[in-house]
Each structure stands twice: as C-alpha cells, then as structure tokens.
C-alpha cells in the first residue's frame, strides 16, 4: 500500500483582483450542499438530489490591519479619499443605494503549491455586508464574512485545476487560469 500525504497547509484567498494573504485569514469554511426532493411511494420514502444547490456559500475570518482594509470585501460601499492629504477612506452600509453587486471570482489556494490542482474556485461570489467584530483588549480585530456563490454558465464551484490540458495557476491580476 502506497503512502499518500494528506492535504493541509496555509491558504490565501482572492476576491476579484484582490489577494488576501494567509497572514490576514483565519478559518475558511466552504459549504456546497445539493438540494433534494422527497417522494413518498408505496415502497417507502425516496430522496433524490435535484442538481441545484440548497446551500452554496463560504465563510471566513478576516483579521483587519485597518478599517480601510474593508474596501477589499465591499469595494462598492467604499468611499475613496478626495484630497491628496487623506490616504484612507470609509465603508458605508445601508445608504439606500440601489446599486446591484456583481459576483466576483473567488479563489482559495494553498500557498505552498505551484499549481491550482487543489484550488477551490467560486466562479462568482458576493460578500454579504456584515460587520460583527468582538472588540476586546484580549482579541485582535476580526470580522467573519460570508460569500454567497452565484450561478454561472460554468456552475457554482470548481474543485481542482482550471486547465485540464497543462499545469496552471489562478492569476489574481487577470482573474483567469493561466498556464505555468
């Protein structure tokens, strides 16, 4: 029997063209659960998968170096500085804006791997606007965020490589799978 190593390590995550380094990420939990339907037959209850998700989301903890870093989660709610002397902006929730948020590609990658063979890729995800930190003298400022996967023509989520023909990796700047 061959010995195989198990997957473990340190993960980074990109949201659109922004890379969130492992140093700022806590736990990441990805949850895709297929919906089912039931039929009560004379022979008993049958449960069948429907081919669409009941749950399609990911949650993660983000440790904040500053409030300005929140622009990486909610760029649409970010107000950039207008003057040359101001270097940080702010995020405002609940401003009554009717702006529709577009899903962004989300990629979760083990930093010790040279390819995307073991990546988790969400084709389009929207980060829910939630701010719920615990402010205490004994804890680092962090927020828990939820990404809701959106349907695309490619599906909701890909587990593994983005290129079936050659070694590849996810390029954050271009938001595309590229050959190594």
Q: Does the residue 103 lie in any domain?
A: yes
Comparison of pLDDT for 6 and 113, the residue scoring more: 113
Report how many domains make up the chain.
1
* Mean pLDDT for the stretch of residues 77-101: 78
The percent of residues above 70 in pLDDT, for the chain, comes to 97
User: 102-139: per-residue pLDDT in tens?
Assistant: 999 999 999 999 999 999 999 999 999 999 888 888 88
Q: Does the residue 19 lie in any domain?
A: yes
Biggest distance spanned by C-alpha atoms of the chain: 75
Percent helix, percent strand, percent coil in the chain, to nearest 5: 5, 45, 45
Q: Does the residue 2 lie in any domain?
A: no
**Mean of pLDDT over the chain:** 92
User: Any idea what the CATH number is for the domain that residue 53 is in?
Assistant: 2.30.110
Q: Does the residue 5 lie in any domain?
A: no
User: 38-50: per-residue pLDDT in tens?
Assistant: 999 999 999 999 9
* Mean pLDDT for the stretch of residues 131-160: 94
* Mean pLDDT for the stretch of residues 139-163: 96
pLDDT band at 158 (very low <50, low <70, confident <90, very high): very high
Q: Does the residue 114 lie in any domain?
A: yes
Domain residue limits at 154: 11-35+48-179
Q: Does the residue 41 lie in any domain?
A: no
Look up residue 25 and give its two tokens: 């990420």
What is d(CA 142, CA 149) in angstroms, rounded to the nearest whole number?
A: 22
Query: In a 3-state reduction of DSSP, which class is residue 114?
Result: coil
With CA atoms as reference, report the closest residue to 152 among 103, 99, 100, 101.
103
Look up residue 178 and give its two tokens: 């590229």
């Amino acid at each position: 029997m061959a010995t195989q190593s198990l997957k473990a390590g340190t993960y980074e995550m990109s949201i659109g063209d922004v890379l969130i380094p492992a140093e700022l990420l806590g736990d990441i939990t990805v949850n895709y659960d297929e919906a089912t339907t039931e039929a009560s037959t004379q022979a008993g209850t049958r449960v069948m998968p429907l081919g669409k998700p009941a749950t399609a989301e990911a949650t993660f903890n983000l440790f904040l170096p500053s409030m300005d870093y929140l622009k990486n989660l909610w760029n649409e709610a970010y107000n950039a500085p207008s003057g040359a002397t101001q270097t940080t902006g702010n995020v405002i929730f609940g401003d009554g804006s009717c702006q529709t948020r577009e899903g962004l590609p989300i990629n979760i990658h083990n930093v010790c791997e040279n390819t995307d063979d073991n990546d988790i890729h969400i084709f389009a995800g929207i980060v829910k606007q939630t701010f719920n930190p615990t402010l205490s003298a004994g804890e680092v400022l962090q927020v828990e965020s939820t990404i809701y996967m959106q349907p695309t023509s490619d599906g909701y989520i890909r587990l593994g490589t983005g290129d079936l023909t050659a070694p590849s990796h996810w390029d954050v700047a271009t938001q595309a799978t590229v050959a190594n």
